[in-house]
Amino acid sequence: MNRMKLYYAPGACSLADHTALHEAGQAFDIERVDIRTHMTEHGIDFRTVSAKGYVPALVLPDGQLLTENIAVLDHLASLYPQLAPAGPLGRSRLIEALAFISTELHRAFKPMWHGGSERERAHAAETVTGHLRLMCDAMKGPFLFGKEPTGADFYLFVMLVWAERFNVEVPQQMVELKRQMLERPAVRAALQAEAPVRTEV
Ligand SMILES: N[C@@H](CCC(=O)N[C@@H](CS)C(=O)NCC(=O)O)C(=O)O
């Protein structure tokens, strides 16, 4: 059977999907994308793979392409239930968290990645810290939903790596979540495959 194949860029949000694939424990393929030139490591124009031109993009075993972190991480949770919280509302809670991370937290970093003014970057940093505090208030354990991380925690981890990179204030619970993440073999494997990515605590 064909394997899934993830198109990723080092340290980008696709690190969440990459980590989830490692947590799932099934073999998969990866291909690096340079998001400035849109060329892949095999010399293919990535826009011929995904017209959106951004990562993550996951090619499924039947050849279909799945994009958007929310959809990719939810699909992986449908295949590997350990990537979602348990219980009847588990998948809905996962999507709720993924949507918040994608549309509020991830989006808030835009001025930092895309040359915002000092004022815009300061405002963005405050927004990120505020969103992280909100998430802390709802945390059910060391990870968002308890003792074990889900796909949402892997996405959150990427946001925490970015927060570190841009010197954004992070609540202590989130510092601890990031530290625990860095001990997980799946996180280490994804980071090693994507190296170099700065992750200092
Ligand atoms: N809506 C997309 C956004 C993905 C996204 O922002 N990807 C960034 C990396 S974190 C990217 O590939 N940017 C390159 C570009 O937009 O050309 C999702 O949630 O998956």
Query: Residue 26: which of 85, 92, 90, 83 has the closest Cα?
Result: 83
Give the pLDDT confidence score for residue 201 in this predicted structure.
46
In this prediction the pTM is 0.97
**Substitution candidate for ligand 1 out of 54, 69, 166 with most atoms within 8 A of CB:** 54
Cα angle 11, 156, 7; round to 5: 40
Assign domain 85-184 to its CATH architecture.
Up-down Bundle (1.20)
- 33 CA: nearest ligand 1 atom: 12
Residue nearest to atom 1 of ligand 1 (CA): 68
Residue 4 has pLDDT above 50, yes or no: yes
Strands (DSSP E) found in the chain: 5-8, 29-32, 57-59, 65-67
* Long-range contacts formed by 191-196: CB under 8 A, 24+ apart: 191/15, 193/18, 193/30, 194/8, 194/10, 194/11, 194/15, 194/18, 194/32, 195/10, 196/10
- Residues 51 and 7: their CA atoms lie apart, in Å, by 13
> In the structure encoding, which two tokens stand for residue 129, read together?
């810290």
Regarding the beta carbon of 13 and ligand 1, being less than 6 Å apart is answered: yes
- The greatest distance separating any two alpha carbons of the chain, rounded to the nearest whole angstrom, comes to 52
Domain 5-81+188-194 sits in CATH at 3.40.30.10
- Residues 156 and 149: their CA atoms lie apart, in Å, by 10
> In which band, very low, low, confident or very high, does the pLDDT at 1 lie, cut at 50, 70 and 90?
confident
- Residues 97 and 111: their CA atoms lie apart, in Å, by 22
The CATH 1.20.1050.10 domain(s) of the chain lie at 85-184
**Residue 30 pairs with which residues in a beta bridge?**
6
The CATH 3.40.30.10 domain(s) of the chain lie at 5-81+188-194
Express each pLDDT in 25-69 by its tens digit. 999 999 999 999 999 999 999 999 999 999 999 999 999 999 999
Regarding the beta carbon of 50 and ligand 1, being less than 6 Å apart is answered: no
Express each pLDDT in 71-80 by its tens digit. 999 999 999 9
